[in-house]
Every structure is written in C-alpha cells, then in structure tokens.
Amino acid sequence: MIAYEFGNSCFLVPTSEQSIIMVVESKAEFSSMDEFITAALTFLESDSEFCDNWTEQYKTRVNLSASAEDVAYVIEKIKGVNQDVEMLFQSIKAAVNITLPTWNQITLCLETEHDYIFYSWVTSA
C-alpha cells in the first residue's frame, strides 16, 4: 500500500488551502472495495504525518455510487496539482462516495482494472 499527499503548495494556486490524499493498492490484496477502504484508513493512521483519526472520521461510510460529475471533479482537482506532477492511471471501472460530498470535501474510492484508489480532497477556503 502506498499513500500520497499533495498539500496546498503543490497546487497552481498555493494559497488555495487544498490538499489531496491518495492511497493505492492492488485489488488482488482485498476481497472487496470496502475491505480496501478500511485498510487504507488504518494505513493512514499508521503514520503521524497523515493524522491519527481516519477510522473514527470515516466510521460511518455511505459507499454510494459516485456520479460521473463526482469522478470528473476528482480528475479536475488532480489536474490542479502543479505542472511538476503528472498522474496517469487506468480508466475507472467503478467509483463510490465514501461520504456524501460537501463544498469543502469529497472522498471517493475508485476502482480500476487492477487497483483500488482511496481519494480525499479537502479545502478550508
């Protein structure tokens, strides 16, 4: 399992107060997307750099199918990371909102052919 964090200084507008956290792992390691989400949250808690209350914060998950607009929003935010970072991943087969999207946060789990991707975008602006 590998985690990435892109803080506000990684965006084209560094004062945007945005951050993106992503956790990626092979689908072969898990029997379901929900099992992956639980493991990703536990993994994030294992390092003090990421925070220590992920499982508590996401203990009530909705896991509702994400709309095409939600997925497009994720892609748009990834493209907002400065030009020094390029991300390429397989096409998305399925996506769920882990929690209901709000104006300042969207948390999804994406499924590609081979991987699960936990994705969290937040802003305080």
Rounded CA gap, 48 and 125, in Å? Answer: 24
pLDDT at site 46: 87
Given this model, what pLDDT does residue 27 score? 96
Q: What are the pLDDT digits (tens) for 82-105?
A: 766 677 778 889 999 998 988 889
pLDDT value of position 51: 72
Range with the poorest average pLDDT among 9-13, 72-76, 97-101, 106-110: 9-13
More confident residue, 34 or 18: 34
Percent of the chain clearing pLDDT 70 (strictly above): 94
CA angle 64–87–55, rounded 5-degree value: 40
* Bridge partners, residue 20, by sequence: 6, 121
pTM of the model: 0.87
